[in-house]
Amino acid sequence: MSSLSWSNTKITLLEYCQKKYFFSYYDWSLKAFSPDLYEISSILRHLKTMEMWMGEKTHRLLSLYLLALKDQMLNHKDPVDVQQLKDQVKTEMELAFAQSQLRDYSKYDPSLRFGLTEHFYGEQVDDQLAPTIEKVFQNLDALIQSKWHERIKSYFSNGLKVYIENPTVPNFEAMKVDLGQVPELSNISLLAAPDFGVVLGEDSFLILDWKSGKEKLDQDDITDQLKIYALKILLNKKRRELGTTNIQVEEIYLPGMQSKG
């Protein structure tokens, strides 16, 4: 029996809409008896709205910047050229937007994983490209101008072990959570990778997760996503309970920079 691959994204989608969950993760089962439905499902599965695209590109730009900042500080290089990084992402977005505008799905390559939902349904969104790109830039600017930026720089300068997710080159093997110590979950493949993490000490950790396009949620408890990140750390240390381990988890809401953890 193959294991069930699980993630916080899948859990959220299943709770939101079971039909969408099926077409997002199990549409391969349609291929044998309904090729046409499978083809359209494959296209729709990889489309994203302008707002989702903005969030994806925010994560990319922040990742590019933080990786460059780390390289600069550890290898004594020139200051990061922020405008160059912005121009790179802007060019990527403009080219992808132009491709999406064509609405040519006759040779759709699912591995490219791009296409805007608005274009697929024939909506006119040309005037939304520039504001969407600007939102991505504003999110980076907000981080650079925040207190977190100086703290992040201190982690680099103090030689702490820092993890920065690269959303364009996901390491699925590294994302796996070792559930060997949890027999009741032995048949589940759980994936988790925070946007930013720091080993502050032998038993002290910090996890940051960027949230774009939304404000801080009015809820007392931390999200399941952050709990899974903390669980991954504990299991890597061969533990199931916190004990003396200190794990600080924070969701950072861009561009307002509110935090919850």
Residue 79 shares a structural domain with residue 163: no
CB 7 within 8 Å of CB 21? no
Radius of gyration (C-alpha) of the chain in whole angstroms: 20
Residue 75 dihedral angles phi and psi, to the nearest 5°: -115, 10
Q: Which amino acid is at 229?
A: Y
CB 253 within 8 Å of CB 211? yes
Residue 55 shares a structural domain with residue 34: no
Instruction: Name which residue leads in pLDDT, 12 or 93.
Output: 93
**For the chain, what is the mean pLDDT?**
84
Torsion of CA 157, 57, 24, 197, to 10 degrees: 10
Residue 250 shares a structural domain with residue 163: yes
Q: Which helix (H) or strand (E) holds 157?
A: helix 147-157
Residue 41 shares a structural domain with residue 65: no
Question: Which of these three, 46, 62, 79, is where a domain ends?
Answer: 46
**In which domain, by residue range, is 37 found?**
1-46
Residue 141 shares a structural domain with residue 165: no
- The Cα 123–Cα 57 span in angstroms is 21
Question: Which of these three, 117, 145, 173, is where a domain ends?
Answer: 145
155: nearest Cα among 195, 193, 206 = 206
Residue 161 shares a structural domain with residue 191: yes
Residue 217 shares a structural domain with residue 200: yes
To the question of pTM greater than 0.75 for the whole model, the response is yes
DSSP per position, 4-65: EEE-HHHHHHHHH-HHHHHHHHSGGGGTTT-HHHHHHHHHHHH-B-HHHHHHHHHHHHHHHH
Beta-sheet pairing, 188-190 with 4-6: parallel
Give SS3 for 80: coil
> Per the structure, how many domains does the chain have?
3
Of 30-34, 158-162, 215-219, the least confident? 215-219
Residue 106 shares a structural domain with residue 184: no
Tens digit of each residue's pLDDT (9 = 90 or more) over 63-119:
999 999 999 999 988 999 999 999 999 999 999 999 899 888 776 565 555 789 999
pLDDT of 124 > 90? The answer is: yes
Q: What is each CA distance from 83 to 64, 79, 87, 140, in whole angstroms? A: 12, 11, 6, 11
pLDDT of 2 > 50? The answer is: no
Question: Which of these three, 13, 31, 46, is where a domain ends?
Answer: 46
